[in-house]
Structure 1
Amino acid sequence: MSFAVIVQARTGSSRLPGKILEMLGAKTALERCLDRCRQIPGADLVVAAIPDIEDDDELAEFAADKGYFVSRGSEKDVLSRYARAAREAEAETVMRVTSDCPFIDPQICGETAQLLASSRADYACNNMPPRFPHGLDCDIFPAALLHEADRKAHDPYDREHVTPWLRTNPNLVRAALLGPGEGAERLRWTLDYPEDLQLCRDIYAALGEAAATVSAPALIRFCMDNAHLLNANEGRVDEARLTAGAKATLTTARKTLEPAA
C-alpha cells in the first residue's frame, strides 16, 4: 500500500466524552471524518488508529463494521500507534488526520499531498501558519520518517502529538499549504467542547446531508454569512494555536489556496 490516511480515534475525552460517536445527521462524527478522508485524491487506504484498551473495543468494532481498516496501538504513545498503523497498512506515505474533524476537506488534503511531491519536501502540512479553520488540519510525510521519529523522539509531548519531531527537526525540509486567512482561521470546526458539537449539528440542520460533502470554501462563506454560526463557539477559539502557529519554523515551500470569497 502506498498512501494511507491514518486517523487517530478514541472514545476517551475529558471535555466531551464520546464526542466522535455523537450524531451529525444520520451518521456519527467519526463516520463523517472517515468518509471524507476516503475522498482524498490519491489515498489508497483510510486507517482508524484506535487505542488497544478495553474501553475502545466497541469503537474498533464500529469502525471495522463501517468498512475501515482498523489498527490498535498505545493509548498514550500516539506516535507509536501511528508507526504501528503505518506498518500494518504497508504505507509508504502517511497523512495524519484527527477524528474530531468532521468537516476535513478532501481537496485541501489532496493539495497538501501534491505540495509534498512538487516541493520535494520531507514534510508538508496546512497549518504553518494556521490560516484555515480549526478542524481542517492535516500533515503528510514518508512513512520512513514516521518510523525514524518513533525511534528518536523521546519527549512525552512529541510522543503524544505525533508530528512535533518532524515539524521542528532542523534537518528536514518542510512545506506548507496556505489557507485564506482573513478571519477563516478563527472558525472552529473541530469537536472538543459542547459548543463545538452544537455548531456542527447546527450546520447539519441548516444544510442537511449536503453538509457531508460541503467544501471548506463554501462552508467558510456560509458561516461568515450566518452570525449564529460565526459566533456559536467563538469563546472556544484556541488563541495559543494561532500564536504558536504564527511563530512556527519557516517553511521552504508554500502554495496558496484560492480565497474563499
Structure 2
Amino acid sequence: MYNNCKICATVEARMTSSRLPGKVLMNFCGKTALQHIVERLKRSKYLDEVVVATTTNKEDEPIIKLCQQIGCKYYRGSEDDVLLRVLEAAKSMQAEYIVEITGDCPVIDWRHVDKLIEMFFSGEYAYASNTIERSFPRGFDTQIFPVTVLEEVNMVTRNPVDHEHVSIYIYTNPEKYKLLNWGASEEMNHPEFEITLDTKEDYEFIKQIYEILYPQNPDFSAEDVVKLLLHYPEITKTLERTHRKDPFKQQKEWEEKHGKTV
C-alpha cells in the first residue's frame, strides 16, 4: 500500500466497441491486448489491485474467461454508465483510490502510473493526470482520484457524456476540484502520437510496435515507444485516416441543450 491507502487500477473493457469489436482480445505477440495491459499494470510498486471493469452482456463472457485464465480480478456492470461501472468495480475491491485505465491502451506504462501516484500524494489533490493539458502521446493516459470524488460526481451530474467518460466532469470543473497536471518532459512531449486501439489501422500500427520491442524486452517503456516512432516515422503512416471522438464537444452540446449540472 502507498501512504496507507488502498489503490486499485480499473481497466475498462468490453467486446462491443462500435469501431473495432473485440479489440481488447486482439493478439499482440501471442497475448491479447487486455492481458498485456494487466501484466504491465501489475508491475506497479503502488497498485494494490488491478480489476477489469466489464459489462453484464453475454458478449463479454470471453473477457471473463481471460481474466480467470490469467488470475485477474473482474467486475461486471453497466455497459453505458461507465462511470458507475468503474466506481462499483473499485468499491468491490474496497479501494480508496482509483487509477483509471481504458482498455484501448496496450502500451500503458506502469512507471507512469507510479510517478503519477507519487505526485498525487504530494499534495491535497482531488484529481491528477497526464492529460489535462495534452503533452504525452495518447495511449499513456493515466489518472488517479479518490473513490469519494467519483461517488460525488455520480450523484451530481446527469450528463450521459460524463457517465460515459468517467472523469471528464472532474477535470472540466477546476473550480470544484483541485487538479494536478503532469506535463511531459522534452523527450516525451509528442502529443501528435496516438497509440490507442480504436481502429484496424491502430491495430496494425500497435502490432508493429509490439513486434519490434516486445521480443527484446517485454517490459518496454513509454520512452522506448517514442524513440521507436521518432526513429521510424513511417510506422505512423497507417494512422492518417483515423478519426477520434471529441468528448468535450459532446459534453458541451448536452449542457447547452439540458443545462449545466451545478
| TM bracket (short chain) | 0.7 to 0.9
Structure 1: which 5+ residue stretches go unaligned? 245-261
Measured against aligned partners, the alpha-carbon deviations of 1:41-83 in whole angstroms (never above 9, x if no partner) come to 3000000000111111221121122111111100000011011
For the structure 1 residues 152 and 239, does the alpha-carbon distance in structure 2 shift closer, same or farther, using more than 3 Å as the test?
closer
Are 2:200 and 1:215 aligned?
no
For the structure 1 residues 186 and 95, does the alpha-carbon distance in structure 2 shift closer, same or farther, using more than 3 Å as the test?
same
For the structure 1 residues 163 and 36, does the alpha-carbon distance in structure 2 shift closer, same or farther, using more than 3 Å as the test?
same
Say which of 51, 57, 60 aligns to 2:55: 51
% identical aligned pairs = 29
Say which of 148, 173, 181 aligns to 1:144: 148
Say which of 19, 24, 33 aligns to 2:23: 19
Q: Distance in 1 between matches of 2:131 and 2:247?
A: 10
- Check whether the contact 1:119–1:175 (CA below 8 A) recurs between aligned residues: no
RMSD between aligned alpha carbons? 2.2
- Check whether the contact 2:214–2:220 (CA below 8 A) recurs between aligned residues: no
Q: CA deviation at 1:200?
A: 1.2
TM-score (norm 1): 0.87
- Check whether the contact 2:135–2:190 (CA below 8 A) recurs between aligned residues: yes
Which runs of structure 2 are paired with 1:187-202 in the superposition (5 Å)? 187-202=193-208
Are 2:78 and 1:82 aligned?
no
Amino acid at match of 1:52: T
Partner of 2:134: 130
Q: Distance in 2 between matches of 1:165 and 1:242?
A: 10
Q: Decide which moves more: 53-62 or 133-142.
A: 53-62
Amino acid at match of 1:7: V
Query: Which secondary structure state, in structure 2, belongs to the residue aligned with residue 228 of structure 1?
Result: helix
Amino acid at match of 1:175: L
Partner of 1:106: 110
Q: CA deviation at 1:243?
A: 11
Q: Distance in 1 between matches of 2:39 and 2:53?
A: 15
For the structure 1 residues 234 and 48, does the alpha-carbon distance in structure 2 shift closer, same or farther, using more than 3 Å as the test?
same
Structure 2: which 5+ residue stretches go unaligned? 251-262
TM-score (norm 2): 0.87
Q: Distance in 2 between matches of 1:241 and 1:177?
A: 21
Q: Stretches of 4+ moved more than 4 A in 1?
A: 237-244
Q: Decide which moves more: 175-184 or 136-145.
A: 175-184
- Check whether the contact 1:3–1:43 (CA below 8 A) recurs between aligned residues: yes
Say which of 157, 163, 166 aligns to 1:162: 166
Amino acid at match of 1:174: L
